Amino acid sequence: MCLAGKASFADTSEDARFFISHLMGDGLWIRIQTDHRLNTERFYREALDTDNARVVDERRFYALIPKRTAQDIFDEHRTFVENITVEQFGADGLSEIVDFFQTPTGERMLSIAKDEGIFEPKYSGRYGYREVLDDWGSYLELDDFTRYSAFTSRPPGEAFIVTRQEIQDITMSTISTAPGFFEPSLEPLLEMIEADGVVEFPADFVRQNMIRDIERFLAQ
């Protein structure tokens, strides 16, 4: 849904950044980072398998695999996730959600969420997402719970409960399938092959052929 709104573009961008920073959790970016690492490792192993080569020094092989941090991935895709957030809630709806979580009650809830890992997979994976947010409310004193209940009874609060997980799912699937996201460079593969004692080939001429093929490709 996208409500016509009073919020300025600058305000909306700030609201989206607040939402992503405080109400998404780091788990999303860590999951994407883990997927990237596993797929990159699989790419190099499969490339070696084509010539019946095998890794004989796992520690050095892994050290040569390029690493991307969760922060790198977040920084690269920040604007994309901000846009999804605004599209899902609308500018005014997002503004009302952020306003609530900047109240004393909302700030206490964010503190609880951080302490208890409410937004992290280790917690939310045990229940459906609505149950997670219900459980979040169980940590509150009566006055705060009443305010939270009033917030979630309004359309933006209800949308927050229903839609937050959808934003994570859209982000995860879109980034993970984006062209180029899992297309590792061949330079590290060349370094693995040329390093002494990292990869074993059935014969040296097979190693040399693979080195030559990679060098030709990189020279294009």
Angle between helices 155-176 and 91-101 (to 10 degrees): 110
The 10s digit of each residue's pLDDT in 123-149 is 554 445 566 666 787 889 999 999 999
- Residue 10's pLDDT is 60
Q: Is 210 among the domain residues? A: no
User: Would you say residue 4 has pLDDT above 50?
Assistant: no
User: Would you say residue 163 has pLDDT above 80?
Assistant: yes
Q: Is 192 among the domain residues? A: no
The 10s digit of each residue's pLDDT in 47-104 is 999 999 999 999 999 999 988 887 788 788 888 888 888 998 999 999 999 999 999 9
End-to-end CA distance of the chain: 47
Q: Is 193 among the domain residues? A: no
Q: Is 113 among the domain residues? A: yes
Q: How many domains does the chain have?
A: 1
Name residue 55's beta-bridge partners: 199
User: Would you say residue 150 has pLDDT above 90?
Assistant: yes
On average, the pLDDT of the chain sits at 84
The single-letter code of the amino acid at 40 is T
Q: Is 207 among the domain residues? A: no
Range of the domain at 33: 9-184
Structure letter (DSSP) for residue 1: -
Evaluate whether 161 touches 103 at the Cβ level (below 8 Å).
no
- Residue 9's pLDDT is 54
- Residue 210's pLDDT is 95
Name residue 200's beta-bridge partners: 54
Phi, psi torsion values for 206, nearest 5 degrees:
-65, -45
Q: Is 40 among the domain residues? A: yes
Alpha helices, DSSP H only, in the chain?
Answer: 9-23, 27-49, 58-64, 70-89, 91-101, 104-116, 121-124, 129-137, 142-153, 155-176, 187-194, 204-219
Q: Is 198 among the domain residues? A: no
> Whose structure tokens read 């605004």?
86
